[in-house]
Amino acid sequence: MTDTPSSPSEQQIEQAARVLAQGGLVAFPTETVYGLGADAENPAAVQLIYKAKGRPANHPLIVHVAPGADLRYWVTDIPPVAQQLMDAFWPGPLTLILPRNPAIPDTVSGGQSSIGIRCPSHPVAQALLKRMAELKPSGQAGVAAPSANKFGQVSPTAASHVRDEFADMSAEELLIVEAGPSEVGIESTIVDVSRTHQGVGAVLLRPGHISAAMIAEVIGYEPASPDQQAPQVSGSLKAHYAPRTPLSLFDEGNAPAVQAALAKGGKQAIVAFASLPPFSADVHDWYVCSPDAQLYAQDLYAMLRRLDQGQYQHIWVQRCPDTPDWQAVNDRLGRAAAAFE
């Protein structure tokens, strides 16, 4: 299936905003990945997300808001560090965990007292959120949206991926707003700033396009790694973001073991940087990946989906450099491989 690169029409945005305001499900594009959205203030609508994804209901969802939304509607406190991060990176691929306004039903945050908020930069997401806010009596709208994939699977970076994931749902059950491929390609960076009143600074819950170094430049220190008290993140399950085909990482150190596995035969794929050809070329399919971390991230999930369709017995992916700019890609690849350990 091909994806329409064009933007949806005004009527399509209008229809999607109405479906959301009336408690329905809408998949929509963001700059990171496609989201599976429902009205964050409507617990029955939020339940539809959990049901469609097959996701446990104690996993909190990210609430998406339009630029200029009144954050006080959603949260009780905006600490200075959160304000600094919003000023620097919103709209964009950054989610902040903040203390939830108790007036917002806790279905959306899996019962936690915090809430994840993100203001996406994608123009279609923004138009949808803006129009939905106009339809709400409060003038405020939040769309709860996890990535539009079944629980534990690879996130969708194209409308065709969403259609494939939810082929079991009719257009009445799930409206898909189509736009081109996602620019960033991996999920937003998540930073917890919900415990500053306890003296806990920013904590990096999920690495992403907005790197720890970029955050440090704005707030003056590197965000900490999650501790025991940090909010739970489903994407932080050790095994997550996995393709269906078994996947392992390799580097020059375990090249002989990979060579031995390849020699046993069977259709296997190798994903590697062009500079490393340690295997005989006749026993496998060879995919050359980008040496640029951002381009790699942009294509990562689409690549895993293509490989899943290749009927391989095994996918071997060369380890990426262990440098800060590769942190988010390494995080996702590590979890994909962990699913098969």
Judged by the rule CB under 6 A, the positions of this chain that interact with ligand TXA are 30, 32-33, 35, 59-62, 95, 97, 109, 112, 114-116, 118, 145-147, 187-188, 190, 231, 233-235
| Beta carbon of residue 267, minimum distance to ligand TXA (angstroms, whole number) | 31
For residues 233 and 242, which CB has a smaller minimum distance to ligand TXA in the complex? 233
| Residue 109 interacts with which of ligand TXA, Mg ion, none, CB < 5 to 8 Å by class | ligand TXA
Residue 119 touches which member of ligand TXA, Mg ion, none, C-beta under 5-8 Å by kind: none
- Quick one: which of 179, 149, 181 has its CA closest to 162? 149
Beta-ladder partners of 303 = none
Please choose which of ligand TXA, Mg ion, none residue 190 contacts, taking the beta carbon within 5 to 8 angstroms, the exact cut-off set by kind.
ligand TXA
Question: In this complex, which beta carbon is closest to Mg ion, that of residue 55 or of residue 319?
Answer: 55
Give the binding site for Mg ion (CB under 5 A). 147
**Minimal distance, residue 194 CB to ligand TXA, in Å:** 7
Q: How far apart (Å, rounded) are the C-alpha atoms in residues 130 and 128?
A: 5
The listed partner (Mg ion, ligand TXA, none) that binds 337, CB under 5 to 8 Å by sort, is none
Identity of the residue, 21 or 49, whose beta carbon is nearer to Mg ion in the bound complex: 49
Task: Name the residue nearer to ligand TXA (CB basis): 207 or 231.
Answer: 231
The distance of closest approach from Cβ of residue 328 to Mg ion in the complex, given in angstroms and rounded to an integer, is 14
CB of 235 to ligand TXA, least distance (A): 4
Least separation in angstroms between CB 26 and Mg ion? 17
Residue number with CB closer to ligand TXA (147 or 245): 147
Q: Give which of ligand TXA, Mg ion, none residue 188 binds (C-beta under 5 to 8 Å, depending on kind).
A: ligand TXA
118 binds, among ligand TXA, Mg ion, none (CB under 5 to 8 A by kind): ligand TXA
The residue sitting closest to Mg ion, measured at its beta carbon, is 147
Closest approach of Cβ 125 to ligand TXA, in Å? 8
Q: Least Å distance between CB 182 and ligand TXA?
A: 9
Distance of alpha carbon 114 from alpha carbon 119, whole angstroms: 17
- Which distant-in-sequence residues (6+ apart) come within 8 Å of 54 by Cβ? 150, 151
Q: What does 91 bind: Mg ion, ligand TXA, none (CB cut-off 5 to 8 Å by kind)?
A: none
User: Which residue number, 147 or 196, has a Cβ lying nearer to Mg ion?
Assistant: 147
